[in-house]
Amino acid sequence: MQTLTIIRPDDFHLHVRSGDALKSVVPFTARQMGRALIMPNLKPPVCTVAQALAYREEILAAVPPERQGRFQPLMSLYLTDKTTVETVREAKAAGIAAFKLYPAGATTNSDSGVTDLFKLLPVLEAMADQGILFLAHGEVTDPEIDIFDREAVFIERIMKPVLEQIPHLKVVFEHITTAEAARLVCEGGERLAATVTPQHLMYNRNHLLVGGVRPHFYCLPIIKRETHRQALIGAVTGEHAHKFFLGTDSAPHPQTAKENACGCAGMFSAATAIELYAQIFERAGALDKLEAFASKNGARFYGLPENTDTITLVKQPQTVPQSFAFGGGRVVPMCAGEVLDWTVQAAV
């Protein structure tokens, strides 16, 4: 039986919601990951240090007993038009890892997001000076821009000018979906990196649209053409692979909210995250590069030590459940009802 043991991975882009829903999903990540960077787009959003620290305690309380003290949530703050330089300084002092850009209206719970990033250049300068990372949801929200083009337009209108004006700012281009984004990261110097999700490595827009709209494949940024998927595979396994790392963007929603006339965006992958990536990398002929992507590249970019324990996967098929408990309802996972090639066997 084929086995694969790697340094315990980290998830550098995770949504866990709050309340009973949080209690349902945190254990999945805590059992697989050593650390997870928690996204701040709650209602209301996590905009202050006090809110972030309280949220961290709520997450820690939901960690299973066997992982208590061994799983670390990394906190981020929600960037708004009202974020100040002083907020950045407070965040640094409190150990906050990053600020997250949500362009207003771009995705779930982004109504409080930034309307004009260039008005916040002094705040970004402060982040650069303090060594706090800038995490970008890279889409414009202009209604005249096609939803499939919003990432590419963001690169030209916003990302490139910001990188030029603040050359010492460390930037993570989150959940990239296009060849243009992969190229920018590869060519962008060592202060620019990107997270890549399992869905954008596995699927193209046919999975969402062919045979009818399939709501459980709907996420933002939206899944793109096959040429873009292939470009992402090439990026995470190619010459500049050290600039890309694991960020699931696992985003659970109740099944009833996904399967309605206005289904919400997000795919829940935390239950089988490392197995999904193992399957992706093996089918790309690059299983030997999984450990760096999952366990090393992100830690290095964030200035963190690698985890000291390991996780073992075995080449043993597993069928993903059709749904999991999620607060008072159910959440449908990515690949529900499908057979995955790998199963987590044990952690040492």
Amino acid at the residue 156: E
Residue 108's pLDDT is: 75
Q: How far apart are CA 70 and CA 68, in angstroms?
A: 5
Indicate the pTM of the whole model: 0.97
Ligand-binding site membership of 137 (annotated): yes
Share of the chain above pLDDT 70, in %: 99
Of the CA atoms within 13 Å of residue 153, those in its CB half-sphere come to 13
Nearest 5°: the CA angle 292, 298, 299 is: 95
Q: What is the CATH number of domain 8-310?
A: 3.20.20.140
149 catalytic, yes or no?
no
What is the per-residue pLDDT across 33-83, written as a single tens digit (0 to 9) for each?
A: 999 999 999 999 999 999 999 999 999 999 999 999 999 999 999 999 999
What is the per-residue pLDDT across 182-194, written as a single tens digit (0 to 9) for each?
A: 999 999 999 999 9
- The rounded Cα 246 to chain-centroid distance in angstroms is 7
Element housing 37 (H / E): strand 35-38
Q: Once rounded to an integer, what is the mean pLDDT over residues 207-224?
A: 95
Q: Once rounded to an integer, what is the mean pLDDT over residues 221-237?
A: 98
pLDDT band at 155 (very low <50, low <70, confident <90, very high): very high
pLDDT band at 348 (very low <50, low <70, confident <90, very high): very low
Q: Once rounded to an integer, what is the mean pLDDT over residues 241-246?
A: 98
Residue 229's pLDDT is: 98
Helix axes 226-237, 273-283, angle to 10 degrees: 90
Ligand-binding site membership of 220 (annotated): yes
Q: How far apart are CA 218 and CA 230, in angstroms?
A: 19
Ligand-binding site membership of 265 (annotated): yes
Q: Once rounded to an integer, what is the mean pLDDT over residues 251-271?
A: 94
The one catalytic residue in 11, 249, 288, 341 is 249
